[in-house]
Protein backbone atom coordinates (compact mmCIF):
# COMPACT_ATOMS: atom_id res chain seq x y z
CA UNK A 1 0.00 0.00 0.00
CA UNK A 2 1.28 3.44 -0.95
CA UNK A 3 2.23 5.60 2.03
CA UNK A 4 1.38 9.30 1.72
CA UNK A 5 3.65 11.41 3.93
CA UNK A 6 3.91 15.20 4.18
CA UNK A 7 6.87 17.15 5.51
CA UNK A 8 4.94 19.90 7.22
CA UNK A 9 5.66 22.87 9.45
CA UNK A 10 4.10 26.31 9.09
CA UNK A 11 7.40 27.90 10.13
CA UNK A 12 9.81 28.70 7.33
CA UNK A 13 13.45 27.69 7.32
CA UNK A 14 13.01 24.20 8.75
CA UNK A 15 14.39 22.38 5.68
CA UNK A 16 11.06 20.95 4.53
CA UNK A 17 12.04 21.05 0.86
CA UNK A 18 15.55 19.74 1.44
CA UNK A 19 14.17 16.94 3.60
CA UNK A 20 11.46 15.96 1.12
CA UNK A 21 14.02 15.74 -1.67
CA UNK A 22 16.68 13.87 0.27
CA UNK A 23 14.36 11.43 2.03
CA UNK A 24 12.90 10.67 -1.41
CA UNK A 25 16.42 10.06 -2.70
CA UNK A 26 17.24 7.86 0.30
CA UNK A 27 14.11 5.75 -0.22
CA UNK A 28 14.78 5.48 -3.96
CA UNK A 29 18.32 4.36 -3.19
CA UNK A 30 16.76 1.57 -1.11
CA UNK A 31 14.73 0.41 -4.11
CA UNK A 32 11.49 2.23 -3.26
CA UNK A 33 9.45 3.99 -5.93
CA UNK A 34 8.70 7.56 -4.88
CA UNK A 35 6.33 10.25 -6.15
CA UNK A 36 7.03 13.73 -4.80
CA UNK A 37 4.38 16.45 -4.84
CA UNK A 38 5.44 20.09 -4.60
CA UNK A 39 2.72 22.19 -2.96
CA UNK A 40 4.83 25.27 -2.26
CA UNK A 41 4.19 28.20 -4.67
CA UNK A 42 7.91 28.93 -4.58
CA UNK A 43 8.39 25.63 -6.48
CA UNK A 44 11.69 25.08 -4.71
CA UNK A 45 11.42 21.29 -4.72
CA UNK A 46 10.52 21.26 -8.41
CA UNK A 47 13.54 23.36 -9.31
CA UNK A 48 15.84 21.49 -6.93
CA UNK A 49 14.96 18.21 -8.58
CA UNK A 50 15.63 19.57 -12.07
CA UNK A 51 12.18 20.61 -13.36
CA UNK A 52 12.05 23.45 -15.88
CA UNK A 53 9.28 25.32 -14.07
CA UNK A 54 9.18 28.17 -16.58
CA UNK A 55 8.10 25.84 -19.39
CA UNK A 56 5.61 23.60 -17.60
CA UNK A 57 2.40 22.89 -19.49
CA UNK A 58 0.59 21.80 -16.32
CA UNK A 59 1.41 21.78 -12.63
CA UNK A 60 -0.13 21.03 -9.25
CA UNK A 61 -2.06 24.28 -9.67
CA UNK A 62 -4.01 22.71 -12.56
CA UNK A 63 -4.46 19.53 -10.56
CA UNK A 64 -6.19 21.41 -7.73
CA UNK A 65 -8.28 23.79 -9.84
CA UNK A 66 -9.26 21.73 -12.91
CA UNK A 67 -11.40 18.64 -12.27
CA UNK A 68 -10.43 17.25 -15.68
CA UNK A 69 -6.72 17.18 -14.79
CA UNK A 70 -5.48 14.00 -13.13
CA UNK A 71 -2.25 13.23 -11.33
CA UNK A 72 -1.18 11.11 -14.30
CA UNK A 73 -1.47 14.23 -16.51
CA UNK A 74 0.88 16.22 -14.29
CA UNK A 75 3.54 13.70 -13.23
CA UNK A 76 7.02 14.36 -14.60
CA UNK A 77 10.15 12.21 -14.44
CA UNK A 78 13.20 13.57 -12.64
CA UNK A 79 16.94 13.17 -13.02
CA UNK A 80 17.03 10.91 -9.94
CA UNK A 81 16.22 7.27 -10.66
CA UNK A 82 13.13 6.04 -8.84
CA UNK A 83 11.65 9.51 -8.24
CA UNK A 84 8.87 11.29 -10.15
CA UNK A 85 7.33 14.66 -9.32
CA UNK A 86 4.06 16.55 -9.52
CA UNK A 87 5.68 19.97 -9.97
CA UNK A 88 4.59 23.30 -8.59
CA UNK A 89 4.44 26.68 -10.28
CA UNK A 90 4.21 30.26 -8.98
CA UNK A 91 0.59 30.25 -10.21
CA UNK A 92 -0.18 28.17 -7.13
CA UNK A 93 -0.08 31.35 -5.07
CA UNK A 94 -3.40 32.33 -6.70
CA UNK A 95 -5.07 29.08 -5.68
CA UNK A 96 -5.80 30.43 -2.21
CA UNK A 97 -8.38 32.85 -3.61
CA UNK A 98 -9.55 30.66 -6.48
CA UNK A 99 -10.40 27.77 -4.18
CA UNK A 100 -12.71 29.95 -2.08
CA UNK A 101 -15.63 29.32 -4.43
CA UNK A 102 -14.89 25.62 -5.00
CA UNK A 103 -17.18 23.06 -3.38
CA UNK A 104 -15.26 21.02 -0.76
CA UNK A 105 -12.24 23.21 -1.37
CA UNK A 106 -10.32 21.59 1.50
CA UNK A 107 -10.66 18.14 -0.13
CA UNK A 108 -9.40 18.86 -3.65
CA UNK A 109 -6.04 17.16 -3.15
CA UNK A 110 -7.69 14.29 -1.31
CA UNK A 111 -10.12 13.72 -4.18
CA UNK A 112 -7.29 13.70 -6.73
CA UNK A 113 -5.17 11.28 -4.72
CA UNK A 114 -8.07 8.92 -4.03
CA UNK A 115 -9.06 8.84 -7.69
CA UNK A 116 -5.48 8.20 -8.86
CA UNK A 117 -3.81 4.87 -9.45
CA UNK A 118 -0.78 5.22 -7.19
CA UNK A 119 0.13 1.54 -7.35
CA UNK A 120 3.34 2.37 -9.21
CA UNK A 121 4.67 4.08 -6.08
CA UNK A 122 5.61 2.87 -2.62
CA UNK A 123 5.69 6.41 -1.21
CA UNK A 124 4.13 9.77 -1.99
CA UNK A 125 6.14 12.54 -0.28
CA UNK A 126 4.64 16.02 -0.14
CA UNK A 127 6.52 19.28 0.32
CA UNK A 128 4.33 21.91 1.99
CA UNK A 129 4.29 25.72 2.09
CA UNK A 130 5.55 27.61 5.17
CA UNK A 131 2.04 28.74 6.12
CA UNK A 132 -1.31 27.59 7.44
CA UNK A 133 -3.73 28.23 4.58
CA UNK A 134 -6.14 26.39 2.29
CA UNK A 135 -3.25 24.60 0.55
CA UNK A 136 -1.95 23.43 3.93
CA UNK A 137 -5.41 22.24 4.92
CA UNK A 138 -5.67 20.30 1.66
CA UNK A 139 -2.42 18.56 2.55
CA UNK A 140 -3.48 17.67 6.09
CA UNK A 141 -6.83 16.32 4.89
CA UNK A 142 -5.26 14.17 2.17
CA UNK A 143 -2.26 12.55 3.86
CA UNK A 144 -1.82 9.46 6.00
CA UNK A 145 1.29 10.55 7.89
CA UNK A 146 2.96 13.76 8.94
CA UNK A 147 6.65 14.38 9.59
CA UNK A 148 7.48 17.70 11.27
CA UNK A 149 10.92 19.04 10.29
CA UNK A 150 12.10 21.28 13.08
CA UNK A 151 15.20 23.36 13.71
CA UNK A 152 16.33 23.10 17.36
CA UNK A 153 15.70 26.74 18.16
CA UNK A 154 13.39 28.36 20.76
CA UNK A 155 11.24 30.00 18.07
CA UNK A 156 10.62 26.61 16.48
CA UNK A 157 9.17 25.24 19.70
CA UNK A 158 7.00 28.32 20.22
CA UNK A 159 5.03 27.83 16.98
CA UNK A 160 4.27 24.15 17.60
CA UNK A 161 1.22 24.93 19.75
CA UNK A 162 -0.60 26.46 16.79
CA UNK A 163 0.41 23.59 14.54
CA UNK A 164 -1.00 20.96 16.89
CA UNK A 165 -4.18 22.98 17.36
CA UNK A 166 -4.61 22.88 13.58
CA UNK A 167 -3.95 19.15 13.48
CA UNK A 168 -6.59 18.57 16.16
CA UNK A 169 -9.14 20.52 14.13
CA UNK A 170 -8.22 18.69 10.93
CA UNK A 171 -8.74 15.33 12.67
CA UNK A 172 -12.48 15.89 12.23
CA UNK A 173 -11.92 15.77 8.46
CA UNK A 174 -9.09 13.23 8.51
CA UNK A 175 -9.36 11.02 11.60
CA UNK A 176 -6.66 8.69 10.25
CA UNK A 177 -3.94 11.36 10.21
CA UNK A 178 -0.88 10.25 12.19
CA UNK A 179 2.04 12.41 13.28
CA UNK A 180 5.07 10.20 12.67
CA UNK A 181 7.45 12.35 14.70
CA UNK A 182 9.87 15.25 14.58
CA UNK A 183 12.73 15.44 12.11
CA UNK A 184 15.46 17.61 13.71
CA UNK A 185 17.24 19.58 10.98
CA UNK A 186 20.21 21.95 10.92
CA UNK A 187 21.45 20.38 14.14
CA UNK A 188 24.78 21.68 15.41
CA UNK A 189 25.71 18.70 17.56
CA UNK A 190 28.29 20.63 19.59
CA UNK A 191 25.78 23.37 20.42
CA UNK A 192 24.41 23.33 23.95
CA UNK A 193 21.35 25.25 22.76
CA UNK A 194 20.55 22.62 20.12
CA UNK A 195 20.87 19.79 22.61
CA UNK A 196 18.72 21.62 25.16
CA UNK A 197 16.02 22.24 22.56
CA UNK A 198 15.94 18.56 21.58
CA UNK A 199 15.58 17.59 25.22
CA UNK A 200 12.73 20.07 25.62
CA UNK A 201 11.06 18.65 22.51
CA UNK A 202 11.16 15.15 23.99
CA UNK A 203 9.85 16.41 27.33
CA UNK A 204 6.97 18.39 25.82
CA UNK A 205 5.95 15.69 23.33
CA UNK A 206 6.98 12.37 24.90
CA UNK A 207 4.58 10.43 22.68
CA UNK A 208 6.32 11.55 19.47
CA UNK A 209 9.69 10.10 18.49
CA UNK A 210 12.64 12.04 17.16
CA UNK A 211 13.75 10.82 13.76
CA UNK A 212 17.50 10.67 13.05
CA UNK A 213 18.92 14.20 13.22
CA UNK A 214 20.18 16.04 10.15
CA UNK A 215 23.41 17.93 10.89
CA UNK A 216 23.93 21.58 10.04
CA UNK A 217 25.77 21.73 6.72
CA UNK A 218 26.05 23.72 3.51
CA UNK A 219 25.88 20.50 1.49
CA UNK A 220 22.10 20.62 1.24
CA UNK A 221 22.13 24.13 -0.22
CA UNK A 222 24.96 23.24 -2.58
CA UNK A 223 23.16 20.16 -3.88
CA UNK A 224 19.98 22.18 -4.38
CA UNK A 225 21.92 24.67 -6.49
CA UNK A 226 23.16 21.73 -8.56
CA UNK A 227 19.53 20.54 -8.97
CA UNK A 228 20.01 17.19 -7.32
CA UNK A 229 19.92 15.56 -3.91
CA UNK A 230 22.79 15.57 -1.46
CA UNK A 231 22.95 11.78 -1.86
CA UNK A 232 23.92 12.27 -5.51
CA UNK A 233 25.96 15.42 -4.97
CA UNK A 234 27.99 14.32 -1.95
CA UNK A 235 27.14 10.65 -1.31
CA UNK A 236 29.72 10.14 1.46
CA UNK A 237 28.88 13.28 3.45
CA UNK A 238 27.45 13.12 6.95
CA UNK A 239 24.26 14.81 5.69
CA UNK A 240 23.73 12.09 3.08
CA UNK A 241 24.31 9.45 5.75
CA UNK A 242 21.78 11.13 8.02
CA UNK A 243 19.09 11.18 5.34
CA UNK A 244 19.80 7.52 4.60
CA UNK A 245 19.13 6.86 8.29
CA UNK A 246 15.80 8.69 8.00
CA UNK A 247 14.84 6.61 4.96
CA UNK A 248 15.70 3.41 6.85
CA UNK A 249 13.75 4.66 9.89
CA UNK A 250 10.62 5.23 7.79
CA UNK A 251 10.92 1.80 6.21
CA UNK A 252 11.27 0.17 9.61
CA UNK A 253 8.16 1.98 10.80
CA UNK A 254 6.29 0.57 7.80
CA UNK A 255 7.21 -2.92 9.00
CA UNK A 256 5.62 -2.08 12.37
CA UNK A 257 2.34 -0.85 10.87
- pLDDT category, 164, cuts 50, 70, 90? very high
Q: Report the percentage of the chain scoring pLDDT > 90.
A: 75
The mean pLDDT of 101-105, rounded to a whole number, is 88
| Helix H or strand E segment including 204 | helix 192-204
For 30-159, where are the alpha helices, taking DSSP H only?
Answer: 44-48, 60-65, 71-74, 95-98, 108-115, 134-142, 154-158
Per-residue pLDDT at 65 exceeds 90: yes
- pLDDT of res. 255: 52
- pLDDT, position 191: 81
| pTM of the complete model | 0.94
Task: For residues 163 and 149, give the distance between their C-alpha atoms in angstroms, rounded to a whole number.
Answer: 12
Q: Is 256 a residue whose pLDDT tops 70?
A: no
Least confident window among 4-18, 34-48, 98-112, 151-165: 151-165
Mean pLDDT, range 150-164, rounded to an integer: 87
Domains of the chain: 3-242 (3.40.50.300)
What average pLDDT score do residues 53-77 get? 95
Residue 61 predicted with pLDDT over 60: yes
Does residue 188 or residue 230 have the better pLDDT? Answer: 230
pLDDT at position 223? 86
The residues, any chain, with a CB within 8 Å of residue 119's CB and separated by 6 or more, are 2
Amino acid sequence: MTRIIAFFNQKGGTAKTTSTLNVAAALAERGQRVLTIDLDPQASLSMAIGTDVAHLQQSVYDLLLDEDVTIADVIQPTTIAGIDIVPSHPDLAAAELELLNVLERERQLDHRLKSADLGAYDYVLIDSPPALNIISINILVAIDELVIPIEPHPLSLMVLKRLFETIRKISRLNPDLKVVGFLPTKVHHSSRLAQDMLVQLEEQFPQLPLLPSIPLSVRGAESTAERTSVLQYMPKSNVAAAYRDVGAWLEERNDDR
